[in-house]
Amino acid sequence: MSTVKLTVNGKAVSADVEDRTLLVHLLRDHLNLTGTHVGCDTSQCGACVVHIDGRAVKSCTVLAGQAAGSSVTTIEGIAKGDELHPMQAAFRDNHGLQCGYCTPGMIMSAIDIVHRHSGQLDEETVRQELEGNICRCTGYHNIVKAVLDAAGRMKVAQAAE
């Protein structure tokens, strides 16, 4: 057992966990942040994607101890109060989700994609960049639309700030 201290969604948190605990289980089982999901055992599906220090990572493939001292952002931490993150809003407005299970990881990856490309995205790039997130419902058509839409919205939001 170790005490793991880190920042999650802006708040300092601490948890006593077995050393074999994965970050995703720390979030889900110890911090009750159940928006981050587990969809596979092989680091493929991306349902568990969160940001560690601003970068999208698969929280099923990170030990809780590896995240100690880091700042973790989950799907629960991206809206500002009642105001949705532009990526969340774009997923809703473009019908970029159906069952919702892959959605949190998809949104966290998509935000990271827009950040890394400074909002300069085309369909082909978005499709390639979504390689690590599997959705079984949407055929990706509306997810791609949502990401492109959000890239525009995030640019506008950034310009306004």
| 61 sits near another protein (criterion: CB under 8 A) | yes
161 exposure class (CB count in 10 Å sphere: 0-12, 13-18, 19+): exposed
| 19 sits near another protein (criterion: CB under 8 A) | yes
In this structure, what is the dihedral angle of CA atoms 120, 126, 130, 131, given to the nearest 10 degrees?
Answer: -110
| 157 sits near another protein (criterion: CB under 8 A) | no
Question: Which of 35, 154 has the CB closer to another protein?
Answer: 35
| Rounded CA separation 90/9 (Å) | 21
Strands (E), the chain: 2-8, 11-17, 49-52, 55-58, 71-73
| 111 sits near another protein (criterion: CB under 8 A) | no
| Rounded CA separation 152/19 (Å) | 42
| 45 sits near another protein (criterion: CB under 8 A) | yes
Of 55, 64, 81, 87, residue with least CA distance to 6: 64
| 15 sits near another protein (criterion: CB under 8 A) | no
Among 7, 15, 71, 76, binds another protein (CB under 8 A): 76
| 39 sits near another protein (criterion: CB under 8 A) | yes
Question: Which of 92, 158 has the CB closer to another protein?
Answer: 92
Q: How far is the CB of 32 from another protein (least distance, A)?
A: 8
| 112 sits near another protein (criterion: CB under 8 A) | yes
| 26 sits near another protein (criterion: CB under 8 A) | no
Among 30, 44, 119, 152, binds another protein (CB under 8 A): 44
| 109 sits near another protein (criterion: CB under 8 A) | yes
